[in-house]
Structure 1
């Protein structure tokens, strides 16, 4: 089983949503991949284990998330080592953080451009993540399908 690491700043909203959505879609696509998520700088002021926006979006899609309710986790070098692929959800926000703390792993990171709540609302960010995750699933499927 290959491992996919989703990164965001807090591991509370975007990366958690991407992780859970990917883990829902990957088996349906026949992928032997499992996602996990971490944060580059989790904020202890976040209320509870996961963003209410993430939980509401997953509920609307009838994706169960109870087993994913845990407090945000800060990324470590071991997480990068475990991952076969890494996605940071917003390059402008995360590239510098990765360069400063995990520079050796930078070539392994795919950067997306999904805004946090300081730049747009969940009604824009979460559908953007839906599209990015679906595209990633299709790319991985195509890469592992015999020609």
Structure 2
């Protein structure tokens, strides 16, 4: 059976999408799903505020769940990333729809949108809890797809 792919998008691929990717992959393995996640950033230039490979907030939340993230730096989204995905989810519609419309207009309406605020609007604990909930709901949807 072909391994299916979900692609999580956020602005910098440093915090929200990275947490969603690692959380999804952890839960998908436990559930025995033939789904795996990857994540990418829609901004073409990294934020000077993003220091290191992954946000300390995402890293702490993953550590709290005994999940060891892949060691890599943020990656900018390409058309190949989008085309390789079976599902594409952007973490915040109000932020990411415009990025998609500008960089990948054919993907703007082929992407699902969540509503998870970045750290400038939401406390990290609240955003992480929301991503956790949404990933668990997505795992259930993927289980239904496996049937």
TM-score by length of 1: 0.94
SS at match of 2:95: helix
Structure 2: runs of 5+ lacking an equivalent:
none
Q: Look up the match of 1:105.
A: 107
Query: Map of 1:17-96 to 2, 5 A cutoff?
Result: 17-41=19-43, 42-45=45-48, 46-65=50-69, 68-96=70-98
CA RMSD of aligned residues (A): 1.0
Aligned partners of 1:39, 1:16: CA distance in 2, in Å?
A: 9
Q: Look up the match of 1:115.
A: 117
- Structure 1 residue 107: Cα displacement: 3.0
Aligned partners of 1:57, 1:103: CA distance in 2, in Å?
A: 33
| Preserved CA contact (<8 Å) 2:35 2:142 | no
- Structure 1 residue 143: Cα displacement: 2.4
SS at match of 2:108: helix
Q: Look up the match of 2:132.
A: 130
Structure 1: runs of 5+ lacking an equivalent:
none
- Structure 1 residue 142: Cα displacement: 1.4
Q: Hey, which bits of structure 1, 4+ residues long, moved more than 2 A?
A: none
Aligned partners of 1:97, 1:115: CA distance in 2, in Å?
A: 16
Aligned partners of 2:67, 2:146: CA distance in 1, in Å?
A: 26
Partner deviation per Cα, 1:35-54 (whole Å, 9 max, x = no partner): 00000015242100000001
- Structure 1 residue 144: Cα displacement: 2.1
TM-score by length of 2: 0.94
